[in-house]
Structure 1
């Protein structure tokens, strides 16, 4: 019997939503996708799937989002009218956990909920009344959940275990590249560089960190064009004020727009030498704990990652002796790195990345099938599913995938 998953998401245009839907579909599940449109963002195209829109939200406007979520909770029965009862509901982010609880009631109860939390919002980490209120809401809404999906061990160590109030088995699904064909086990392509060409750093994905933008601008200007910066993805214009004007004024920086994941990854990463995996957006909190998409994407396609000390990404790189970890975040270490960069040191760095097993960077067909089997167990045997997930959570730091 085909597993029916209702996937409730905070942003229907998020490329990571498309990747998860493709993963579930590849694993054999049938998906109903419902969620919010984020402003004017075009919906991420998922072949053969028409999402159910629950409303419109605005980036960076938390109060507006709360209002939209409240309205969706009130109207969820009518929005889901005609949708068959799902076997599992996956709620991506805290606001969708609230919607999921209402959806369970609309379907008559006893539908297991999976809480998918791939970022820890800064409001959840506040020590004041607002933070305690939100963590309390998360704990209450999570009482009906059977499983927590997250993407970094540091989220569990720094938030979910000590602070959240949730008591759920954990499934680690890292932000790896979806590779469903024979390319899943292929080694990254050889890097092609002409001696004397500028070094090119790619900053791809969710572009929201003004400090990264300033550091990369300062580096490219200080190096007089010997380092070029290439940006691709979705800029958070609420955080990067005047983004288009800033880029237009930069002599050694370009923005190439959005891209498809995974279809365009090989082309965009082949165009750069390094991948910028640093994020200061929520420094010391979410940004220090995450393992970003671009880490896996870049390494999968042979680009050399750059991180900053004291982060989960730096720990990941140090454990595998790959990439470059800046000793500090003041910009001087970054400039020193490139002033000392030469073709030999770059070849050594490329080799260290290339010799890693491809499974470290990719989600394969078997991983997709394993995920759907795990979700199916929640639907058919809650106690058995919890036992399996708990066993998995004990080894989550060393777990590279589901296989």
Structure 2
């Protein structure tokens, strides 16, 4: 029997949501997608799938999002009336965990919930009453969950195990590139640079860090055109005020709009030499712990990553002796790095990245199948027996429990 997954998401336009749906489908699951539209963002297109919209939310407006979630909880039975009972419900982020609990009731109970948390919101980390209340809500809502999916071991080490109050087995799914065909084993493309070309740094994906924008702007100006900055993705305009005018005023910086993941990745990374993996948006917390999409995307396609010392990304790179790690966030250090950059040092940095096995950066079809098999083990009928056949054993990285 084909596993039926109801995927409840906070932002239907999030490219990472599209990637997860593609991954589940490639693994053999049937996916029903439901969630919120984030403002005017166009929905991330997934061929053959029409999502169920539960409402509209606004970026950066937490109170508004809570109201929208409350309304969705009240209307979820009606919204899902034409949906067959799923075998598993995946709830992406805390607000969707609340909706998932109501959905289980709507389906008559006994549908296992998977809590997918790929970022730790700063409100959850506060030491005051607000933080304690949110962590308490997460622990209560997570009582019906059977599995936690997260993307970085540092999230487990720094939040889920010591602070969250959850007691769940953990499945680590890193933000790797989806590679379902022959490209999965292809080596990183050889770089062809013309002598004298400017160094190009790509900052791609969710653009939300004003300090990164300022550092990259200052670098490009200080280098007088010897370094160019290319931006691609979805800018968080609630965080990057007047983004379009700011970028337009920079002589060596361009914004080239959104892209499809994974289809457009080879082309966009072919146009840059380095990938910016630094994030100060929630400095000292989520930003220090995450392993971002752009790390895997850039390395898979031959771009040399730039990270900041003391972060999980830097630890990842240092363990493998690849990439460039800035000792601190002083912009002068970044300028010094590129003042001393030459073709030989770049070639060495590129080759150390290119020598890594493609499987380090990619999710393959067999990984997708292993994920679906792992989810199938959670699905039980009224007698407690598996309702979906499980073939083989999962090859994904089960991390044990939180306790």
Give the TM bin, normalised by the shorter chain: over 0.9
Superposition pairs for residues 129-144 of structure 1, below 5 Å? Answer: 129-144=129-144
- State whether residues 279 and 287 of structure 1, in contact with CA within 8 Å, keep that contact through their aligned partners in structure 2: yes
**For each residue in 1:9-58, what CA deviation from the matched residue of structure 2 results, as whole angstroms up to 9, or x when unmatched?**
00000000000000000000000000000000000000000000000000
**What are the ranges of 5 or more consecutive residues in structure 1 without an aligned counterpart?**
397-403
CA distance in 1, matches of 2:5, 2:159: 27
CA distance in 2, matches of 1:389, 1:295: 22
- Compute the displacement of 1:330 (Å): 1.5
Tell me whether 1:341 sits opposite 2:347 in the alignment: no
Relative distance call for 1:292 and 1:163 in structure 2 (3 A) is same
Aligned to 2:357: 357
- State whether residues 370 and 395 of structure 2, in contact with CA within 8 Å, keep that contact through their aligned partners in structure 1: no
- State whether residues 210 and 281 of structure 1, in contact with CA within 8 Å, keep that contact through their aligned partners in structure 2: yes
Aligned to 2:166: 166
Aligned to 2:206: 206
Superposition pairs for residues 275-290 of structure 1, below 5 Å? Answer: 275-290=275-290
Aligned to 1:218: 218
**For each residue in 1:53-99, what CA deviation from the matched residue of structure 2 results, as whole angstroms up to 9, or x when unmatched?**
00000000000000000000000000001100000000000000000
**For each residue in 1:292-333, what CA deviation from the matched residue of structure 2 results, as whole angstroms up to 9, or x when unmatched?**
000000000000000000100000000000000000001111
RMSD: 1.8
Aligned to 1:98: 98
CA distance in 2, matches of 1:345, 1:395: 43
CA distance in 2, matches of 1:173, 1:332: 35
CA distance in 1, matches of 2:310, 2:396: 28
Superposition pairs for residues 204-283 of structure 1, below 5 Å? Answer: 204-283=204-283
**For each residue in 1:155-198, what CA deviation from the matched residue of structure 2 results, as whole angstroms up to 9, or x when unmatched?**
00000000000000000000000000011011110011101100
- Compute the displacement of 1:388 (Å): 8.0
CA distance in 2, matches of 1:390, 1:197: 42
CA distance in 2, matches of 1:9, 1:27: 19
- State whether residues 171 and 389 of structure 1, in contact with CA within 8 Å, keep that contact through their aligned partners in structure 2: no
Aligned to 1:22: 22
Superposition pairs for residues 55-94 of structure 1, below 5 Å? Answer: 55-94=55-94
CA distance in 1, matches of 2:327, 2:15: 32
- Compute the displacement of 1:367 (Å): 0.3
- Compute the displacement of 1:380 (Å): 3.5
| Secondary structure in 2 matching 1:393 | strand
| Secondary structure in 2 matching 1:70 | helix
Report which of the two has the higher share of helix.
1
CA distance in 1, matches of 2:66, 2:368: 32
TM-score (norm 2): 0.96
Superposition pairs for residues 302-317 of structure 1, below 5 Å? Answer: 302-317=302-317
Aligned to 1:2: 2
**For each residue in 1:243-302, what CA deviation from the matched residue of structure 2 results, as whole angstroms up to 9, or x when unmatched?**
000011000000000000000000000000000000000000001000000000000000
- State whether residues 373 and 394 of structure 2, in contact with CA within 8 Å, keep that contact through their aligned partners in structure 1: no
TM-score (norm 1): 0.96
- Compute the displacement of 1:389 (Å): 10
Number of residue-to-residue matches in the alignment = 395
| Secondary structure in 2 matching 1:378 | coil
- Compute the displacement of 1:395 (Å): 11
Relative distance call for 1:383 and 1:320 in structure 2 (3 A) is farther
